[in-house]
């Protein structure tokens, strides 16, 4: 066995001291690591709070965005309805022009002046002794006529030449009695549309209704 010199003992002491310092440093690092650990946790919590706030803001904004989308959709639907109505109107006019060309077209309108002595129920129209229309009126339609409305009660075709129009009016006359009267007009159909008017008016002098058929110039 070799004798241990003073120098060897000193070297061994230094090694032991360094080992102890290293162990202490490791413990301090572990403690520091454990102490510093909450910092990342706080950062994560802040990030999570920010994400929650953003999600809440997005949720708050969602109804407004949805409302705007619904408003835009409703506007599109209204525009589409208007386009459909305009298209139907154009198609209706085109259909009338095709079915009732101007050289054979005849239109009959009906108007009521005052209506004190007669309440209209129905009207029958004949051209050249052939029935072409028998119209039954509702209370709303009668009220509209009594307030100055004009109704196109018939639209059809007749050939160029002489014709006879006969109209029969049925309703309630004076003292709420059943009342039926007729009126006729002989006219000549030329080239171009012909417009005729059935007019019901009050004859104040006799307290009786008056029925006329006239041409529109």
Domain co-membership, 123 together with 208? yes
Contact 157, 167 (CB under 8 A): no
CATH number at residue 119: 2.60.40
Nearest to 118 by CA among 39, 204, 43: 204
Contact 91, 98 (CB under 8 A): no
Domain co-membership, 95 together with 139? no
Please name the residue ranges forming H helices in the chain.
6-36, 38-99, 139-146
- Where among 99, 127, 160 does a domain terminate? 99
For 110, the domain range is: 105-215
- Where among 99, 116, 139 does a domain terminate? 99
Rounded Cα–Cα distance for residues 54 and 216 (Å) = 74
Domain co-membership, 112 together with 201? yes
Looking at the structure of the chain, the number of domains it has is 2
Per the document, the length of the chain is 217
Domain co-membership, 129 together with 209? yes
Nearest to 202 by CA among 151, 149, 146: 146
Domain co-membership, 181 together with 149? yes
pLDDT digits (tens, 9 = 90+) for 95-148: 666 777 778 899 999 999 876 788 899 999 999 999 999 999 999 999 999 889
pTM value is 0.58
> Tokens at residue 40, please?
């990342």
Domain co-membership, 78 together with 125? no
pLDDT digits (tens, 9 = 90+) for 58-91: 555 555 557 777 777 878 888 888 888 887 877 7
């Amino acid at each position: 066995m070799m004798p241990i010199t003073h120098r060897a003992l000193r070297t061994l002491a230094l090694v032991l001291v360094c080992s102890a310092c290293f162990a202490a440093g490791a413990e301090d690092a572990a403690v520091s690591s454990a102490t510093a650990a909450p910092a990342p946790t706080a950062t994560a919590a802040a990030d999570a709070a920010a994400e929650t706030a953003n999600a809440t803001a997005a949720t708050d904004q969602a109804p407004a965005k949805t409302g705007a989308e619904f408003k835009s959709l409703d506007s599109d639907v209204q525009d589409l309805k208007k386009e459909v109505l305009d298209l139907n109107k154009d198609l209706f006019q085109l259909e009338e022009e095709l079915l009732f060309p101007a050289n054979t077209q005849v239109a009959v309108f009906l108007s009521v002046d005052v209506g004190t002595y007669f309440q209209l129920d129905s009207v029958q129209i004949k051209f050249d002794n052939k029935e072409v229309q028998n119209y039954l009126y509702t209370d709303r339609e009668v009220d509209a006529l009594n307030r100055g409305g004009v109704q196109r009660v018939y639209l059809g075709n007749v050939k160029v030449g002489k014709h006879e129009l006969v109209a029969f009016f049925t309703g309630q006359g004076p003292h709420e009695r059943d009342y039926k009267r007729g009126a006729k007009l002989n006219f000549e159909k030329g080239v171009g549309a012909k417009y005729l008017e059935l007019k019901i008016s009050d004859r104040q002098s006799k307290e009786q209704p008056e029925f006329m058929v006239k041409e529109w110039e």
